[in-house]
């Protein structure tokens, strides 16, 4: 168990600034294994040059986020879809 | 920052005046960002300790020895200082009465902070909802909010104990959760917060006891989060 | 312009700052940065593969790898997140030793690793004594959290190029952006030219 791993609660601030929706309850579906769950339960690795969100079931990369000095790059390839609670 | 008060030798509660604060929900957190004169910035998340409706925002911060932000907040910050906060953040790890009860709040170390916000909120607006607070602390000098929890929480000490202690003295496990908490048939809303390994062990233990995974909410604090 | 926080400064040990590339600062410990769970590959299961645009793919088992000539390496390391460590000590096999056994004209390489991490480099950056496969740090076998059993070590570039948990290098005709290079980080990463991000 990697003590440095956090969960989607920790990554929420960054993601929420971009998406303007409540991110921790947003359900993501893993493209690799199909597992569904709130992003709060995803595994977050943020002690790195960027933030990586991984599926708690298969550890596949769901999403990545990098802050450059003048812009933020986001990759969502590992998420088959998002379901945003309204 | 309006006020500062010590909670334990390693932790303080910081009180903020925030005109324009939109209010928050019990369990949410804020991101704190500090900026040095040379432009260096460090940012960390801290759970809000004060319940919704309190007139001032409170954060309880425990100093991590090799932390970037917590040493400043826990040792240096004084009334009158200004810091940057982003938030409130979170909709998953929150509770309000509409989410029902009873509550089972399981805290490892400083994971108690958001659970205390939930417990304070419950006491203020829905005291008829039953709650069990189970806290794991290294020793009596590490237990946050000891006075407020006196007699109202189940505490387990994992390293040192007070003189004459007859309570739990081991890491949280299935047997402890079964003894201290409501049974799965009561469908308690479980909130687990603390270091990653603590949260993993407790969440799995709750599932093994028969608690429904959908009723278990988790929030992991990093050991390097400070 | 963010407000300055009274009395806040980064924690910094003393040291020879003249050896630091622009924008870097010294750290006392050895920070562990990762984008995923730490792989734990036992040496019995470990192998290293050289493949792609070469005459014939090569593969070394752990024993075969450890039988290759190795050397101590003392170097400064620079992480793109701005921390640096001076005079770190490693033991490893020079990439020249492995590449000397193959014929290739490939201009680029991709290092690939347990856990899925990849990084790309021009081949000149791992030859002529510029890169190693490191299996020991500070006199002890390399810990998994720092990339053990074996990591790539390319100290003249930012540390994200020194791929942890490396299992192979593929020689390529094209420069294929790796894990961080595909999301904003520079394809080469020379800290002395501060090549941190795309467009630097």
pLDDT bucket at B226, cuts 50 / 70 / 90: very low
**Coil, helix or strand at residue B153:** strand
Res. C178: pLDDT tops 70: yes
Which one of B35, B66, B71 has the shortest CB-CB distance to C5?
B35
Secondary element (H or E) of residue A17: helix A8-19
Residue ending a domain, among B89, B119, B141, is B89
Whole-number pLDDT of residue B53: 87
Whole-number pLDDT of residue C1: 60
Which range, A8-17, A69-78, B50-59, C57-66, has the best average confidence (pLDDT)? C57-66
B66 domain residue, yes or no? yes
| pLDDT tens per residue across span B3-54 | 999 999 999 999 999 888 889 999 999 999 999 988 888 889 999 999 998 8
> Cα torsion for A30, A35, A38, A39, to the nearest 10°?
-30
Residue ending a domain, among B28, B57, B89, is B89
Q: Give the Cα separation of A37 and A81 in Å (integer).
A: 11
Which residues in C lie closer than 8 A to residue B66 (C-beta atoms)?
A: 29
Contacts of C181 (CB under 8 A, 6+ apart): C119, C120, C187
B190 domain residue, yes or no? yes
| pLDDT tens per residue across span C108-130 | 999 999 999 999 999 999 999 99
Average pLDDT over residues B143-156: 95
B45 domain residue, yes or no? yes
Domains and CATH numbers, chain C: 20-27+44-193 (3.90.420.10)
Q: Which of A7, A9, A11 to mutate to test the interface with B (most CBs of B within 10 A)?
A: A9
The tokens describing B59, both together, are: 């954060």
In the beta sheet, which residues pair with residue B219?
B193
| pLDDT tens per residue across span B162-218 | 999 999 999 999 999 999 999 999 999 999 999 999 999 999 999 999 999 999 999
Give the HSE-up count for residue C48: Cα atoms under 13 Å, Cβ half-sphere. Answer: 26
C112 φ/ψ angles, rounded to the nearest 5 degrees: -130, 155
Q: Minimal Cα distance from A47: which residue of C?
A: C33
Asked if A70 contacts A53 with a C-beta cutoff of 8 angstroms, the reply is no
Q: Which of B220, B221, B226 to mutate to test the interface with A (most CBs of A within 10 A)?
A: B220
Which range, B33-47, B63-77, B134-148, C9-23, has the best average confidence (pLDDT)? B134-148
Domain match, B213 and B111 both: yes
pLDDT bucket at A1, cuts 50 / 70 / 90: low
Whole-number pLDDT of residue B122: 97
**Coil, helix or strand at residue C61:** strand
Asked if C17 contacts C27 with a C-beta cutoff of 8 angstroms, the reply is no
Instruction: List Cα–Cα distances, C38 to B192, C104, C115, C143, C154, in angstroms.
Output: 24, 32, 8, 10, 21
Which one of B31, B218, B224 has the shortest CB-CB distance to A13?
B31
Give residue for tokens 């924690």. C11
Q: Which comes out higher in pLDDT, residue C103 or C2?
A: C103
Q: Minimal Cα distance from A41: which residue of B?
A: B218
**Are the Cβ atoms of A73 and C37 closer than 8 angstroms?**
no
Instruction: Specify the DSSP class assigned to residue B87.
Output: E
Domain match, B74 and B109 both: no
Q: Give the Cα separation of B19 and B55 in Å (integer).
A: 10
B226 domain residue, yes or no? no
Residues in A 28-57 with any Cβ partner in B closer than 8 A: 38-41, 47
Cβ neighbour number for residue C122 with a 10 Å cutoff: 14
**Are the Cβ atoms of B42 and C3 closer than 8 angstroms?**
no
Q: Give the Cα separation of A51 and C33 in Å (integer).
A: 11
Strand extents, DSSP E, B71-172: 84-89, 103-108, 131-137, 153-157
Average pLDDT over residues B60-81: 90
Which residues in B lie closer than 8 A to residue C8 (C-beta atoms)?
A: 34-36, 42, 72, 76
| Paired sense of beta strands C25-26 and C83-94, if any | parallel
Instruction: List Cα–Cα distances, C115 to B2, B13, C46, C164, in angstroms.
Output: 47, 40, 13, 9
Whole-number pLDDT of residue C13: 64
**Are the Cβ atoms of C81 and A49 closer than 8 angstroms?**
yes
Domain match, B175 and B217 both: yes
Whole-number pLDDT of residue C14: 62
Domain that holds residue B159: 97-221
Whole-number pLDDT of residue B225: 39
Strand extents, DSSP E, chain C: 25-26, 47-52, 58-61, 71-78, 83-94, 108-113, 118-122, 132-137, 140-141, 151-153, 166-172
Res. C16: pLDDT tops 90: no
Domain match, B111 and B75 both: no
**Coil, helix or strand at residue A47:** coil
Interface A:B, Cβ pairs < 8 A: 69
This complex has an ipTM of: 0.89
Q: Which of C2, C3, C8, C13 to mutate to test the interface with B (most CBs of B within 10 A)?
A: C8
Domain match, B152 and B168 both: yes
**Are the Cβ atoms of B225 and A10 closer than 8 angstroms?**
yes
Domain match, B102 and B83 both: no
Asked if C75 contacts C155 with a C-beta cutoff of 8 angstroms, the reply is yes
| Total domains, chain B | 2
Residue ending a domain, among B89, B111, B137, is B89
**∠ CA(B96), CA(B99), CA(B105), 5° rounding?**
75
Residues in C 28-47 with any Cβ partner in B closer than 8 A: 29
Domain match, B123 and B214 both: yes
We report the CATH number of the domain holding residue B54 as 2.40.30.10
| pLDDT tens per residue across span B92-103 | 999 999 999 999
**Are the Cβ atoms of C4 and B76 closer than 8 angstroms?**
no
B60 domain residue, yes or no? yes
Residue B200 in contact with partner chain C when CB distance is under 8 A: no
Domain match, B105 and B213 both: yes
Domain match, B101 and B78 both: no
| Paired sense of beta strands C47-52 and C166-172, if any | parallel
We report the CATH number of the domain holding residue B201 as 3.40.50.80
Which one of A5, A69, A75 has the shortest CB-CB distance to C183?
A75
Which residues in C lie closer than 8 A to residue A75 (C-beta atoms)?
A: 182-183
Domain match, B212 and B153 both: yes
| pLDDT tens per residue across span A18-69 | 777 888 999 999 999 999 999 999 999 988 899 999 999 999 999 999 999 8
Long-range contacts of C118-122 (CB under 8 A, 24+ apart): C118/C163, C118/C178, C118/C179, C119/C152, C119/C160, C119/C161, C119/C163, C119/C178, C119/C179, C119/C180, C119/C181, C120/C172, C120/C175, C120/C176, C120/C177, C120/C178, C120/C181, C120/C187, C121/C154, C121/C157, C121/C161, C121/C188, C122/C175, C122/C188
Residue A11 in contact with partner chain B when CB distance is under 8 A: no
Domain match, B110 and B65 both: no
Cβ neighbour number for residue C71 with a 10 Å cutoff: 12
Chains interfacing with B (3 or more CB pairs < 8 Å): A, C
pLDDT bucket at B224, cuts 50 / 70 / 90: very low
Domain match, B164 and B80 both: no
Whole-number pLDDT of residue A56: 95
| pLDDT tens per residue across span C78-94 | 999 999 999 999 999 99
């Amino acid at each position: 168990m990697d003590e440095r791993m956090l969960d989607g609660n920790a990554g929420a601030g960054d993601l929420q600034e971009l998406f303007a929706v409540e991110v921790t309850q947003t359900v993501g579906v893993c493209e690799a294994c199909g597992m569904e769950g709130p992003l709060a339960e995803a595994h977050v690795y943020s002690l790195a040059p960027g933030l990586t969100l991984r599926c708690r079931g298969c550890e596949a990369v769901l999403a990545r986020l990098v802050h450059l000095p003048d812009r933020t790059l986001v990759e969502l390839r590992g998420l088959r879809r998002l379901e945003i609670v309204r | 920052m309006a006020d500062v008060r010590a909670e334990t030798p390693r932790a303080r509660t910081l009180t903020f005046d925030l005109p324009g604060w939109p209010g928050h929900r019990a369990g949410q957190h804020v991101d704190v960002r500090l900026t040095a004169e040379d432009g260096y910035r460090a940012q960390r998340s801290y759970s809000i300790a004060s319940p919704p409706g309190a007139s001032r925002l409170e954060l309880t911060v425990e100093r991590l020895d090799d932390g970037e932000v917590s040493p400043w907040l826990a040792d240096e910050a004084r009334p009158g200082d200004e810091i940057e906060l982003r938030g409130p953040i979170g909709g998953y790890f929150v509770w309000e009465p509409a989410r029902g009860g009873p509550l089972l709040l399981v805290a490892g170390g400083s994971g108690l902070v958001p659970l205390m916000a939930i417990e304070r909120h419950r006491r203020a607006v829905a005291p008829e909802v039953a709650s069990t607070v189970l806290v794991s602390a290294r020793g009596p000098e590490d237990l946050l909010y000891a006075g407020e929890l006196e007699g109202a929480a189940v505490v387990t000490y994992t390293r040192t104990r007070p003189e004459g202690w007859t309570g739990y003295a081991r890491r949280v496990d299935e047997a402890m959760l079964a003894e201290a908490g409501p049974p799965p048939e009561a469908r308690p809303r479980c909130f687990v917060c603390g270091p990653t390994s603590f949260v993993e062990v407790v969440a799995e233990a709750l599932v093994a006891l028969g608690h429904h995974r959908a009723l278990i909410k988790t929030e992991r604090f990093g050991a390097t989060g400070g | 312009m963010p407000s300055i926080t009274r009395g806040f400064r980064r924690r910094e040990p003393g040291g020879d700052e003249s050896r630091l590339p622009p924008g870097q600062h010294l750290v006392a410990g050895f920070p562990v940065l990762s984008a995923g769970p730490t792989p734990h590959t036992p040496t019995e299961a470990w192998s290293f593969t050289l493949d792609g645009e070469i005459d014939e793919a090569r593969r070394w088992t752990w024993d075969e790898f450890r039988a290759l000539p190795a050397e101590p390496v003392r170097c400064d390391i620079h992480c793109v997140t701005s921390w640096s460590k001076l005079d770190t000590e490693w033991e490893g096999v020079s990439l020249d030793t492995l590449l000397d056994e193959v014929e290739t004209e490939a201009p680029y390489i991709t290092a690939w690793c347990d856990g899925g991490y990849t990084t790309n480099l021009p081949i000149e950056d791992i030859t002529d004594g510029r890169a190693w496969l490191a299996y020991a740090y500070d006199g002890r076998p390399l810990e998994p959290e720092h990339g053990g059993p074996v990591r790539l070590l390319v100290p003249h570039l930012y540390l994200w190029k020194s791929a942890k948990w490396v299992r192979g290098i593929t020689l390529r005709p094209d420069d294929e952006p790796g894990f961080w290079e595909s999301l904003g980080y520079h394809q080469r990463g020379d800290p002395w030219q501060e090549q941190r991000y795309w467009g630097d």
